[in-house]
Amino acid sequence: MKILLTGAKGMLGKKIIEMCNYEFMLLTRENCDLTDFDKLKNFLDSIKNLDGIWHVAAYTNVENAEENKEECFKVNWISTKILSDFAIKRNLRILYISTDYVFDGKKKSPYREWDETNPLNTYGKSKLFGEKEVLRNPFGLVIRTSWLYGEYKENFVTKVLEKAKREKKLRVVCDQCGSPTYTRDLVNIIKLLWENEETGIYHFSNKGEITWFEFAKEILKIKKIECEIEPILSEELNLKAKRPFYSVLDTYLIENKFGYRVPSWKVSLKDYLEKII
């Protein structure tokens, strides 16, 4: 099976290549910038044989997106539209990775796939627009995930470890609740859903809900690093982008449809930390 993979040099893209045995055609910023729409269309038109598209590339800097809205929408929305149009024209399946930030966080229980979306920031809005483009395709598959970390790129876990080694005290927000996701576990779900030819929207993250503060505490506990952590409120950071206070994703659909046992966030975090030593 030949798959066009965008974001091939990113954290998730590299994990996909590591774990999947498909034949991948790699689309990277070097060979085709997603914001160069003419080049992207020409690149796609030059492809002769293809079985599907995995659109993993994204503009993910939530803060910078508020000042670089045009670039964010170009990457997360317009390029997705072009890829989706191409998939529809060629009768191809397409997979798109989305985010918990399509929700506003006002719900007090885990979000289901059919819950109303209402993104609070530019990043979330751009990803929601991308979702809608992919779902125009009857073979479109959207996987929403959250708080992604893994090998190959700096992430929240590595940032906490690096700061804890340099500083005596960390300040971490305690009023945003979600679920971390290890790239290894997400790739397993991508393979499961793709090989079962699933379409529509699915939610996936590791099991359990925590705050960023609790996440940081567990990271240092596992690594046995002595460092004071101060819980703070989001408003103290003066962030440009609003974040949902609660964005836990409900994985009921995946668990029950496939009998899949979702790994807990603590177990997956420990596995990851042992691997990167």
Share of the chain above pLDDT 70, in %: 100
What is the rounded distance in angstroms from the CA atom of residue 26 to the CA atom of residue 28?
Answer: 6
170 within a domain of the structure (yes/no): no
What is the rounded distance in angstroms from the CA atom of residue 35 to the CA atom of residue 85?
Answer: 16
In the predicted structure, residue 277 carries a pLDDT above the cut 70:
no
Return the structure tokens found at 206.
């590791």
13 within a domain of the structure (yes/no): yes
> How large is the C-alpha radius of gyration of the chain?
19
pLDDT for res 69: 96
Q: Could you give the number of structural domains in the chain?
A: 1
219 within a domain of the structure (yes/no): no
268 within a domain of the structure (yes/no): no
In the predicted structure, residue 32 carries a pLDDT above the cut 80:
no
What is the rounded distance in angstroms from the CA atom of residue 199 to the CA atom of residue 178?
Answer: 25
Residue 48: band (very low, low, confident or very high) from pLDDT cuts 50, 70, 90: confident
Share of the chain above pLDDT 90, in %: 86
- CATH classification of the domain holding 46: 3.40.50.720
Q: b vs e for 244-261, b when ≥16 Cβ sit within 10 Å of the residue's Cβ?
A: bbbbbbbbebbeeeeeee
272 within a domain of the structure (yes/no): no
Return the structure tokens found at 46.
């030059």
123 is an active site residue? yes
In the predicted structure, residue 255 carries a pLDDT above the cut 70:
yes
Give the CA distances from residue 49 to residues 41, 90, 92, 196, in Å, rounded to whole numbers and listed in that order. 16, 10, 11, 21
pTM for this predicted structure: 0.95
Domain of residue 38 covers 2-153+182-205+248-263
231 within a domain of the structure (yes/no): no
18 within a domain of the structure (yes/no): yes
Catalytic hit among 101, 111, 123, 182? 123
41 within a domain of the structure (yes/no): yes
Question: pLDDT tens across 147-175, in order?
Answer: 999 998 889 999 999 999 888 899 999 99
